[in-house]
Structure 1
Amino acid sequence: MSSNWPLKKISDVAYFRNNKRIPLKSLDRAKRQGEFPYYGASGIVDYIDDYVFDGSYLLISEDGENLRTRKTPIAFQAHGKFWVNNHAHILEEKEEGILDYLEYYFSTLDLTPYITGAVQPKLNKANLDTIGIPIPPKDERRSINRTLNHLRDKIELNTQTNQTLEQMAQAIFKSWFVDFDPVKAKIEALAAGGNADDAELAAMSVISYPPHEPTGRYC
């Protein structure tokens, strides 16, 4: 039970790597466009020509209105080669699986007591490292991570599916009501000497297989 889990600070279970942060102005980034993600408080801000970090890390927003509104995640992982500005705390795990657990924990935690600044909300490192986090034993933590990772994967898959369906719907709408493909198909069938049934079949073929998506079927 979580009530029996010991409370620990972030620095007990992860390393802060804030000292490796290097902010770049937008003008500087414009001169250094490349393949490596450049992260800020709420995710990827840009892509540049170099990296500072190489591995898996957890980033936690340090400042910005999103700390209060939570319109985007305030804790998110970054993998591979990337760069981070000075608007996100950077954590490296001390033991396997802790980053997943911390990410899920901070996604539900009310940070209001730890945020300072009336105009520009800020979660500084000192306040962040005072938060008591219930840390389960390694086996329990792995089980929690496995379950939550599975749910996250399903959510991401459903989101991708919804985006695909939306694109399909837009393609159909354009075919029917902007390009008038079914009407054109009827006209072409009749012009080729077909009868009314041929024209109707041609229109139905366009409806079933829109020309914008020749390899997919819309049901």
Structure 2
Amino acid sequence: MNSEQRTLSEIKKVEGLSKPYILQRQGVEKPNSWKISPIGELLELEYGSSLPKKEREEGPYPVFGSNGRSGWHSEYHVDAPGIIVGRKGVNLGIEWSDTNFNVIDTAYYINPDSLKISEVDLRYLYYNFLDFDLDRLKSGSAVPGLNRDEFYEETIAIPPIEEQKTIATILTNIDKKINTNREINSVLEEIEQTIFRNWFVDFSPYDDFKNSDIGRIPESFEVKTISEFAEIILGNSPKSEHYNEEGEGLPFFQGSKNFGLRYPKVERWCTKKKKVAQEDDVLISIRAPVGDVNRAGEKCVVGRGVTALRMAEFENEYLYHLLKANKPNWEKYKSGTTFNSINKTDIQNFPVALPPKKDIERFNTLTSSMKEMINDNVEENQELSELRDSLLPKLMSGEVRVNDINLDDLEVDSEV
């Protein structure tokens, strides 16, 4: 690292490029070796094809629509790699595919055959478009869509091809590490749930059994309702005037829309703390879709579509997997004419076969290292996402050059 280079943490502290480059270009001096080019001179937006769900056969090839992957198919019609650009809908997305894929007629695609010049890197274009605000280019009232001609007229900065590739490699390596962590967490979740089912659903470690109101269970188990061993906090939604997207108040979850593999994604906050879940509480959706389960990654407000639960005596890992394993069993409790839902009484009176305390403690102890690893990966992904989101607009505008920063602290290549 020379005296003129900046660390990644220093770059993250620089403010002023929160908007897409196309909206900030007037305030950033373009490097002399970079060119400004209309998008229409670089590529052709290719139309997707009609592929109704009823005509799809389950297979290995992803099907993309206007806002991401919408399914799978046994065949493909676009050669990878490629960029998928949302064409119609409320929120227009940008996606990347390393595998051969399909695009339906609500989206465009760009692959190597779509490029008009050889001096542009496809992956660099993908990251450049991620920094766009596509929704501002929509037209139409009934079904708003991306105006192709206006998109072509937009201009972007084009560095020399080697610099494009370096920029794309830096951002790609960060995304690869994020995806690797997600895949590890998915495997760890599956291992934990497999252990739970083996012990507390299939009862494999137990020899002596008895009949009960919910069927044959181990002799040492007791039939208990959830309210007998867990505290239940039914969500209640404050008025919308208390919601914001600026981070004021506590994270707010209205339903399972933002649920992830284990923790929900925070997109909205609430200043009125009506019903509050504590960090590590178990969250369950009680309105359609009923029975989705997550954990509270931090203290948060729960709306009417979510209920929070916590164990009275133990850590919540057992309770988390108990609710996940019982998701199919909530079907009989669903009610409502407009949408399916379950109420607090349904949750309170839900019967389960509760194992002895020592077995719950044993399960929590056995899975504690996996839980810790999952949490470490989630925390690292948060830091990596913030780093990527900070770097992306600066690299795309030329405010930060790849030779100006010290990449030694970006230990991604060796870890992916």
Superposed pair shares fold, TM > 0.5: yes
In the alignment, does 2:125 pair up with 1:125? no
In the alignment, does 2:33 pair up with 1:10? no
Q: How many equivalent residue pairs?
A: 187
Write the distance in 2 (CA, Å) between the matches of 1:13 and 1:3.
22
Offset of residue 120 of structure 1? 3.0
Write the distance in 1 (CA, Å) between the matches of 2:196 and 2:58.
37
C-alpha distance 122-106 of structure 1, shift in aligned 2 (>3 A): same
The aligned amino acid for 2:173 is H
Offset of residue 134 of structure 1? 1.8
Alignment partner for residue 84 of structure 1, among 103, 110, 120?
103
Offset of residue 87 of structure 1? 1.4
Give the 5 Å matches for 1:1-219: 3-4=29-30, 5-18=34-47, 21-27=48-54, 29-30=55-56, 36-48=61-73, 50-67=75-92, 74-79=93-98, 81-91=100-110, 92-93=114-115, 94-95=117-118, 98-179=121-202, 184=206
The aligned amino acid for 2:139 is T
Deviations 1:13-57 (A, max 9, x none): 223333xx4313344x15x66665443223444444654333432
Moved more, 48-57 or 148-157: 48-57
In the TM superposition, structure 1's runs of 4+ consecutive aligned residues that sit over 6 Å from their partners are none
Q: 3-state DSSP class of the match of 2:146?
A: coil
Write the distance in 1 (CA, Å) between the matches of 2:163 and 2:202.
57
Q: 3-state DSSP class of the match of 1:60?
A: strand
The aligned amino acid for 2:83 is L
Offset of residue 154 of structure 1? 0.1
Q: 3-state DSSP class of the match of 1:15?
A: coil
Write the distance in 2 (CA, Å) between the matches of 1:56 and 1:80.
6
Write the distance in 1 (CA, Å) between the matches of 2:39 and 2:78.
20
Offset of residue 76 of structure 1? 1.8
Offset of residue 115 of structure 1? 1.9
Offset of residue 96 of structure 1? 6.3
The aligned amino acid for 1:22 is S
Write the distance in 2 (CA, Å) between the matches of 1:181 and 1:81.
42
Write the distance in 2 (CA, Å) between the matches of 1:59 and 1:79.
11
Q: 3-state DSSP class of the match of 1:106?
A: helix
Confirm or deny: 8 A CA contact 2:120 2:158 kept in the other structure.
Answer: no
Write the distance in 2 (CA, Å) between the matches of 1:79 and 1:150.
14
Name stretches of at least 5 consecutive residues in structure 1 with no aligned partner. 68-73, 188-202, 211-216
Calculate percent identity across the aligned residue pairs.
27
Write the distance in 1 (CA, Å) between the matches of 2:166 and 2:121.
12
Write the distance in 2 (CA, Å) between the matches of 1:207 and 1:113.
51
Write the distance in 1 (CA, Å) between the matches of 2:158 and 2:69.
29
The aligned amino acid for 2:103 is V
Offset of residue 159 of structure 1? 0.6
Confirm or deny: 8 A CA contact 1:54 1:79 kept in the other structure.
Answer: no
Confirm or deny: 8 A CA contact 2:68 2:94 kept in the other structure.
Answer: no
Write the distance in 1 (CA, Å) between the matches of 2:175 and 2:79.
24
The answer to which structure has the higher helix fraction is: 1
Write the distance in 1 (CA, Å) between the matches of 2:80 and 2:125.
17
Offset of residue 137 of structure 1? 1.8
C-alpha distance 48-175 of structure 1, shift in aligned 2 (>3 A): closer
C-alpha distance 44-96 of structure 1, shift in aligned 2 (>3 A): farther
C-alpha distance 168-45 of structure 1, shift in aligned 2 (>3 A): same
